[in-house]
Amino acid sequence: MIHYPKRHRLPVITLLIYCLYQTISPLIILCSLSLAAFRSLKEPSHLKQLADRFGLGAIGHSDAIWFYAASLGEMNAARPLVKVFLDNGYNILLTHLSPAGLEAGKRFFGNNPRVTHRYMPLDFFIFVKVFLRRARPKCGIVLEVEIWPAMLLEADKLGVPMYLANGNLLEKSMPRLKTWRRSGLHMYRLFDHIFTRAEDFVKRYEAAGVLKKDLTITGELKLDTPRDPVSISKGQSWRNAWAGKQFTFLISSSIKAEEDILMDCCIDLLKQVPSIKIIWVPRSPQRFAAIGQKAKKAGILSFKRSEYNNTISDKVQIFIGDTIGEMDIYLGMADIVFVGASFSDWGGHNIVEPLSAGCPVMMGPSTFGIDFIAKEAAEEGIFKSFNSPDQMKNFIITIAQSPEKLKELRLAASRFFKSRKSAAELCYEVISFDV
């Protein structure tokens, strides 16, 4: 493929802002390293593989397909696309911003000798240039919303084709087009092609100046990743030993701002339907202990996954998922799932995982981050957004007392997942033809 630089598509003001950004980047880098040092007090992995951050470190095979999956969510989206390229004989260079992304990449592909795992360099043109000249990737694939100016401009200068997969440009970002911050949105023009989820996203990218011919609707990449059947089965066996046929409700990816609301909901549920069992998996590991403390204060008997030793007392009311990378086990234990960051104005976390495990999903009113799939799921009756915790609580009680209705919803969720796979193949067809 002959790659023609796209720098001419950027307005002069955007290039000037980029120059200013690079001028102050050394100061930003010092602040970033200081923050990493502070965070390493709790998570030492933030200071591991430090050479990667400066463009050094492992780069693996030349002519590899380079992926940038910043953190855990992006790596979950990248996983099926990485697999398609591996199945077709390509080498892979996986880069990440966070330890969570790096650990997930190693967990998924750590045993494959054709996959190299490393952190992405800090977004300073010298570091990025060193990395790209050393790695010499066949192309770059960025996941979702990660726009780093030096990465895109240096790749463009060196003729590295760049693609955006699972593009996730939200409506809340669009007012930036009317301010000086529009230069960030203009960076999307540097991608050779953008793969996104639905027509609404296409219109936003076009408003940012991306050409129609450079946009393809593929749907959601995460729907191409089936749940781990072994983990799902393990969760089902744990659920049977703990709850039997009693109704189970999973609170997934909750954030601190909504914990008190959700705990009050749990208290009311257990009062009205004492047989209900609750699994609670906070978004952040820092919140694991807090959930246990809140349950104890409320007089609710809780139990931590980290304490599990082949038995769970049937008197336990809340099972706290205080581990990383075991969501499939928790989904195997659940009948229905609440997904967090939705009873606060965060837009909601990923609902694909529970839907792909056959679990209907509930959320609070803030769902702008997942509307692209929530609307379709709502039409099938397997997704509901509630304006208040009381509305959600009443719905849970109704479903808990209606086994046949629950069975219908779970079957509908499974059908929904199976009918919407193929995003990875669509991305692969376009990229492999180009490179």
5 band by pLDDT with thresholds 50, 70 and 90: low
- Which pLDDT score, from 0 to 100, does residue 153 have? 94
Mean pLDDT confidence for 280-306: 95
Burial per residue of 58-92, b for 16 or more beta-carbon CB atoms within 10 angstroms, e otherwise: ebbbeebbbbbbbbbbbbbbbbbbbbbbbeeebbb
Alpha-carbon gap, residue 118 to 106, rounded angstroms = 10
Per-residue pLDDT of 299-354, as tens digits, reads: 999 999 999 888 899 999 999 999 988 999 999 999 999 999 999 999 999 898 99
Alpha-carbon gap, residue 260 to 263, rounded angstroms = 5
Per-residue pLDDT of 134-181, as tens digits, reads: 999 999 999 999 889 999 999 999 999 999 999 999 999 999 998 888
| CA proximity to 207, closest of 249, 175, 237, 179 | 175
In sequence order, the 6+-apart residues with CB closer than 8 A to the CB of 92 are 60, 64, 65, 67, 82, 85, 86, 109, 112, 114, 115, 116
Structure tokens at 27: 């100061």
Burial per residue of 138-152, b for 16 or more beta-carbon CB atoms within 10 angstroms, e otherwise: bbbbbbbebbbbbbb
Amino acid letter at 104?
A: A
**19, pLDDT greater than 50:** yes
The string of DSSP codes covering 422-434 is -HHHHHHHHHHHH
* Residue where the block lists tokens 């200068």: 157
- Domain boundary assignment for the chain: 21-29+42-220+422-434, 229-418
Predicted model pTM: 0.82
Alpha-carbon gap, residue 142 to 193, rounded angstroms = 11
φ, ψ of residue 259 to 5 degrees: the values are -65, -45
Topology annotation, domain 21-29+42-220+422-434: Rossmann fold (3.40.50)
Whether 21-29+42-220+422-434 shares its CATH topology with 229-418 is answered: yes
**2, pLDDT greater than 60:** no
Is the CATH code 3.40.50.2000 the one for domain 229-418?
yes
1 band by pLDDT with thresholds 50, 70 and 90: very low
Consecutive H or E run containing 163: strand 162-167
What DSSP state is assigned to residue 309? Answer: S
Alpha-carbon gap, residue 99 to 119, rounded angstroms = 8
